[in-house]
Amino acid sequence: MTSKGLQGSGFLRNGFAAGTVISAKLMNKTIKVAVPRVKIFKGRQIARLSRFMVHDENNEADIGDKVLIKQCLRITQNKHHKLHTIFEKDPTAAYAKEHPEFLEYMTVKQYDALPGRTRGLPAKPAVPPGNPLPEPDPHKINIRAARKESQLILEQTTKTNKQ
């Protein structure tokens, strides 16, 4: 049975496996490698990933590198694989080393201060001291004032009718 888009398993013979580095430099001499595998469920092939903590003695692997790992005796509680070879380096990792601003994160205030952003600015412009507020347009109807006037007129008419 063949499936479109699914590759074979990343597990090889004699304890070897091929995978992609998904986490590096968070722990000293440790990387996390995702190895693809194919699971057959009710006659269908489903792609899954196995994630392994791998011992990297020289801290030479970066995120995105294609690596070959070898099973070994337990090194720590969660590590029982060693990095065997790196057979393909990720080109974006080299670019990120040359341009450190590529990986730089901004705070919310820095993002809001960028040109074209209005979130960090005040909602209404502040009126400078000494300048009066602009006069309201007499042609526009103030609904609240109109309601108050109508209520006052109603109260006055009801008072006069009761007397």
Instruction: Confirm whether 130 is domain-assigned.
Output: no
Summarize pLDDT for 98-146 with one digit per residue, the tens: 776 666 666 666 666 666 655 555 545 555 566 666 666 666 666 677 7
Structure tokens belonging to residue 42: 């009710």
Instruction: Confirm whether 153 is domain-assigned.
Output: no
Structure tokens belonging to residue 149: 């006037």
Q: Into how many domains does the chain fold?
A: 1
Question: What CATH number should be reported for the domain holding residue 47?
Answer: 2.40.50.140
Task: Answer whether 86's CB lies under 8 Å from 67's CB.
Answer: yes
Return the percentage of the chain with pLDDT > 90, whole number: 33
Distance of CA 54 to the CA centre of its chain: 26
Instruction: Confirm whether 64 is domain-assigned.
Output: yes
Instruction: Confirm whether 73 is domain-assigned.
Output: yes
Is the pTM higher than 0.85?
A: no
Summarize pLDDT for 49-79 with one digit per residue, the tens: 999 999 999 999 988 899 999 999 999 999 9
Instruction: Confirm whether 101 is domain-assigned.
Output: no
Identify the three-state secondary structure at position 26. strand
Average pLDDT, the chain: 78
